[in-house]
Amino acid sequence: MPSASTRPADNLDDDDYPAYTMGRAAAMLGTTPAFLRTLGEHRLITPLRSEGGHRRYSRYQLRIAARARELVDKGTPIEAACRIVILEDQLEEAQRINEQLRTRGPESEASA
């Protein structure tokens, strides 16, 4: 019997699990496969590949693509939209790290 951590159902909660085909991802976003390929060309998202070479997208990647689509729908050029989303993601990560450091307190910094 497989361990609890390797059950296929565990992937349902994994935001990084590449569960969606290009066609399904495009349908969920209301866009075209070409739009998703363009996001890949601009290095906004890099889908994993199945054994057959087909692109597979995670929920996290779909959220990123959805944000880019919002910007493009508002008239932002796709290159700029990709850069904006990358910068937003970097800012969010920096804020998360900053908050972690702030909550650690001065005594843990002195021991570091």
Question: Per-residue pLDDT tens for 57-90?
Answer: 999 999 999 999 999 999 999 999 999 999 999 9
pLDDT value for 6: 56
pTM reported for the whole predicted model: 0.76
**DSSP 8-state secondary structure symbol assigned to residue 11:** G
Q: What is the per-residue pLDDT across 3-33, written as a single tens digit (0 to 9) for each?
A: 455 566 666 678 889 889 999 999 999 999 9
**What burial class does residue 66 get, using C-beta atoms within 10 Å of its C-beta: 0-12 exposed, 13-18 middle, 19+ buried?**
middle
Tokens of 109: 């910094």
CA angle (40 as vertex; 6, 52 as ends), nearest 5 = 50
What is the per-residue pLDDT for 5? 53
Band (pLDDT 50/70/90 cuts) for residue 1 is: very low
**Predicted pLDDT of residue 59:** 94
